[in-house]
Structure 1
Amino acid sequence: MNAIVHTLPPTASGFDRWQLPAHVAQAVWRGTELGGTNGRALSTGYEALDAALPGGGWPTQGLSEVLLAQAALCEWRLLGPALPGFLADRNSRIYLVAPPKAPHAMGLAQLGLAPEQLVWIDVQGPADSLWVTEQLIKSEASGAVLAWLPQARPEQVRRLQVLALHCDAPVFLFRPESALRDASPAPLRVSVALGESWGLEVRIRKRRGASTDAVLHLEAVPGNLHSVLPPRLRALPAPGMQPQEETHALGRPATATAARLRIAH
């Protein structure tokens, strides 16, 4: 069999895509560029973080893996500004799978999440947590799925990622920072820690496109406090609160208005 091989004119970077026909050049993506997403992207509420994420926000149709040094510390500070954007209509829900502490419904309401739009699913172990998360993704839940799966293995995360490709809601997996030792099929991995004052320090560990070692310093004053805090308190730790005791939205007894489901199978 004879084959004819056509080569492109070399340039300093290998080839110049702009010498290609326009419709072909638009479809060429270089690994050094920030990639796109399979589905929509929803704003994180932080301009600096949006600018660093493919598509300009939290992706749908794929997993976002959030790595934490300590659970129940930064989750709501990071996701709080985006919550209203997850709730497209009155039927949308935020599904919480096995949070390490009880959600505080009134604290979440101040972030824009009405109590009737919160579904807390309490499960008994890692296997049940994984099963419930799978079922929610398969059901193509409207809203967002937030699952705490500290013991998930790479092959289990891979299965969730395959399922999430067909889900239009953002899916977040919260895992310990030690999971960085293992490869992950999740297209987006970020680690988050408390910074100075009210801030958060976010590192993008994996994304579609060029890697980055930059630390994003995000001002994460809860929205309901931003307008009432005097300037001097915005530069100080939360009064009377040590970082390990943060309870703004996760970590207080749930109220009767928070929907709680106990799943067994």
Structure 2
Amino acid sequence: MALDTRTDRRPSFAGLLWRSTVGKKTAMAVSGIVMLLYLVVHMLGNLKIFFGAADFDAYAAWLRTIGEPFLHHEWFLWIARVVLLAAVVVHAVAAYQLSRRDLAARPTKYARPSPRPRPRRRASYATRTMRWGGVILGLFIVWHILDLTTLTVNPRAEAGHPYANVVATFSTWYGNTVYLVAMLALGLHIRHGFWSAAQTLGAGRPGRDRTLKTLANTLAAALTLGFLAVPVSVMTGVVS
């Protein structure tokens, strides 16, 4: 007589949560907030370039010593990179899977479209903006790492001279073009994403809608202008 060796394996709570639409949206919201906090700190650090080469290079060197002597040299940077990479992967995978579900759930279009205006037109525009903005930002992250971290695509870069490397990048038309397009996409992504994350995490209330929209617009504008200040200043000779 054969024995049934099968075991009743039930999916974990985390697995069930991830499989649900609510769980994926929550994962997107939390990972988005992690990346948003990083962007705020990163932008403030970038603005130190206006204090001159010595201050900016010293700031870049300090980032590699955070946590010493408890942490070894550059450990903090690598921990931050791993956390950010995890946030980016979770955000991208959840966005892709939600997009596939949305496409699969759409009803079949009628042969003759209704003359009435589409009630979801605004939502569809926001969805397309987030989708393509995410693709642009994903490609930009790869280019940005190759440009100012590994210095692979920055022909005039020199290790240990971050100020000069930034100036070298934004002294080229293609460096400025890539950065400008990416930062505009970032602003739109934050504007729509912050609002969506607030709704997902339950912060949205009828009385808070105006405040949340104002905060989303302010964050998007501040980050976009803050990041664009560096390439524009190099282009105009303010930073050289």
Higher strand share: 1
TM-score if structure 1 supplies the norm length?
0.23
Q: TM-score, normalised by structure 2?
A: 0.25
The structure with more helix, counted as a fraction of residues: 2
Larger Rg: 2
